[in-house]
Amino acid sequence: MRFDIMTLFPELINSVLGESIIGRAQKSGIISVYAHNIRDYSTNKHRKVDDTPYGGGKGMLMATQPIYDCFRDISKQRGDGKSKTLYMSPRGRIFDHSVAKELAQYDNLTILCGHYEGIDQRIIDEIVDEEISIGDYVLTGGELPACIIVDAVSRLIDGVLSDQICHEDESIASGLLEYPQYTRPPVFNGKEVPEVLLSGHHANIDKWRLEKSLELTKERRPDLYKQYLDQHPNTKNNF
Ligand code: 4FL
């Protein structure tokens, strides 16, 4: 899978995504991430990328020309596969695990990161397929949200995680929060590991973990809990 990020801070993208699992996935060629500096496409002699808003108001907007030329260059570079262009924006659809699964079906994702007070609406209308928000807060730019999308989507791609069962098995994907986990030592500051986990009885351990997941989800995320019960009507509700 190929990601193209349009940004004023390509080094920010490369430093976040160059480490750990996503860094390794890039080195092994399973995914590629290209951070394009929008400023490189400015035709202005001072490499200007922003301008004042029509109608007045404070702040500066990102202008159309450098972004459009950057996008056209990316369109030439990327393959023919299934492609989508996203704009990271607090106005967008809220990102969650099901959106990540949806986006993992594409061959090419192009992500536009905003700065300043926003972007000329016409560039959004012209090149963006969907606006995506990572939550109801305002950041200084779209770079960190873009990295979150790349991270969450990439780990769903075959071969990115070492153990393929891993991401299908995990908590939020199942609709429940994760049960508590323990490792050695068996007693820490006087607190013991729950006995069932030391028993070696796998059926009992699975049952305990599911109960803990249900209990935690009911308490902390009643919205997810209700959804889970709707989808799993045979769940025994003991709490
Ligand atoms: C983008 C916030 C996506 C939340 C400033 C520029 C943002 C954001 N989700 N804040 N972009």
At 145, list the tokens.
């949200």
At 195, list the tokens.
């006995």
Class of domain 2-154: alpha beta
Same fold, 2-154 and 169-238: no
Residues 182, 185: Cα–Cα separation, whole Å: 9
Is it true that the peptide bond before 185 is cis, omega within 30 degrees of 0?
yes
Task: Indicate the pTM of the whole model.
Answer: 0.94
Taking only the tens place, the pLDDT of each residue in 125-147 is 999 999 999 999 999 999 999 99
Cβ proximity of 34 and 45 under 8 Å:
no
Residues 15, 20: Cα–Cα separation, whole Å: 11
- Is residue 93 helix, strand or coil? strand
| CATH code for residues 169-238 | 1.10.1270.20
How many whole angstroms from 149 Cα to the centroid of ligand 1?
12
Give ligand 1 pocket residues (Cβ under 6 A). Answer: 88-90, 114, 133-135, 138-139, 141-142, 145
| Whether pLDDT at 50 is above 70 | yes
Domain ranges of the chain: 2-154, 169-238
How many whole angstroms from 41 Cα to the centroid of ligand 1?
23
Q: What is the pLDDT of residue 172?
A: 78
CA angle 213, 219, 222 (to 5 degrees): 95
Per-residue CA distances from 98 to 93, 116, 173 (Å): 12, 30, 8
Q: For residue 140, which atom of ligand 1 is closest to its CA? A: 5
Q: For residue 115, which atom of ligand 1 is closest to its CA? A: 6
Taking only the tens place, the pLDDT of each residue in 158-202 is 999 987 556 666 677 789 999 999 999 999 999 999 999 999 999
At 68, list the tokens.
């459009």
Mean pLDDT, to the nearest integer, of 39-46?
A: 98
